[in-house]
Structure 1
């Protein structure tokens, strides 16, 4: 809930210890908030390090992800997360069973890691076991699970690092669902 309790609520409650929030990302069991100063906070289920605080401890109040600074956008996937920094780099953490973190491994990460295979990113979106990024030249990169061809690279092979989505140019917005 983010209010310090573990009980369901029938009415909205105030999340504690947050101010100047410019973006919220949430899914079925965890939430993240981005403050105007570029800090990221997370709370909820932390299986596999999904919160990014370096632990696997569930949190019922927001915890600051101190390893992330100067963040301008966040995205929450099914079991992983992405953050875009003001230097156009992408950071990922959480479950990585299909390569959705883009770091070349299938190792879960409880702290954010930089996706070094891409740069000049202006938008990110975390889906169900895959991720996508929009580059400043209007092209799109994708990585992770590809069993249904969702990475758009004319294959059904999972990708542990970003690959270009073929046929897309001049893209201005991306979004993925799970």
Structure 2
């Protein structure tokens, strides 16, 4: 798989004459990136507008917008969120359940549109069912499906069609959503928190009950970063150790992952 990925990136680089991308963000079947000149580019599947058109195939990179002030991009499964240099949030693609936060549940949205009027968005993490966003003031916001307490405000189960603040805390520093209906966040004190669906013990305990509000997962205060799949999470500590918990049905050959839903060290061979 590594060889295939390497060859793919080499092809992308060669086919675009070596122009500089600031990184790749990959959805289910589409890729988006911002170049060093602030332009937005993408390729792949765009059947419901995730690449600003409704074409099934976009085999080569193309510019998605004439604007040159794009700053950060996040690809959901079937949609795309982009933050401009002025802090405004823009989106396109799948809008079911209110996933785009534009007040609608229209599935196909091929036109890049601004989401709300806020000018302090910092990061977006999108899944197949809900979306969460981090603002520069340290607050977390959510929108989309809320059938498993994804909005973290102790309510269920109506869709949230526009961004709503999750909790009242204002010292969050990072966010990650799972592919399903769970969300995670780090505070500036190094603690890790989670809410929503507890698939495979993803929320760090031995139950399968959803967490209706952001809940601290353990007492540790040295978490540095988090990366979440559908039913498992990888978390890096400040001392460089890597930890994992949740489901382990598809174990990597190069890793030993505990199947018990208690936080365990991930030992790399």
TM-score (normalised: structure 1): 0.91
Question: Residue 19 of structure 1 corresponds to which residue in structure 2?
Answer: 68
Q: 1:57-83 deviations in whole A, cap 9, x for unaligned?
A: 231021101243301111112221111
Distance (whole Å) between structure 2 residues aligned to residue 137 and residue 33 of structure 1: 28
- The 1:115/1:3 distance shift into structure 2, 3 A limit, reads closer
- Contact 1:153/1:163 (CA < 8 Å) preserved in 2? no
- Contact 2:88/2:117 (CA < 8 Å) preserved in 1? no
Matched, 1:113 2:164: yes
Question: Residue 38 of structure 1 corresponds to which residue in structure 2?
Answer: 87
Matched, 1:130 2:182: yes
Q: 1:165 aligns with which of 201, 217, 228?
A: 217
Distance (whole Å) between structure 2 residues aligned to residue 19 and residue 161 of structure 1: 38
Q: 2:195 aligns with which of 129, 143, 146?
A: 143
Matched, 1:174 2:226: yes
Flag the structure with higher helix content.
2
Distance (whole Å) between structure 1 residues aligned to residue 51 and residue 80 of structure 2: 12
Q: Which protein, 1 or 2, shows the higher relative CO under an 8 Å CA cutoff with sep ≥ 6?
A: 1
Rg larger for: 2
Q: How does 1:40-119 map to 2 (within 5 A)?
A: 40-57=89-106, 58-106=108-156, 107-119=158-170
TM-score (normalised: structure 2): 0.62
Runs of 5+ consecutive residues of structure 1 not aligned to the other structure: none
Runs of 5+ consecutive residues of structure 2 not aligned to the other structure: 1-45, 231-269
Distance (whole Å) between structure 2 residues aligned to residue 38 and residue 83 of structure 1: 12
- Contact 1:74/1:81 (CA < 8 Å) preserved in 2? yes
Q: How many equivalent residue pairs?
A: 178
Distance (whole Å) between structure 1 residues aligned to residue 182 and residue 168 of structure 2: 15
- The 1:53/1:19 distance shift into structure 2, 3 A limit, reads farther
Q: 1:14-66 deviations in whole A, cap 9, x for unaligned?
A: 21254322221113311111112111111101111110011122310211012
Q: What is the CA RMSD across the aligned residues, in angstroms?
A: 1.7
Distance (whole Å) between structure 1 residues aligned to residue 121 and residue 198 of structure 2: 28
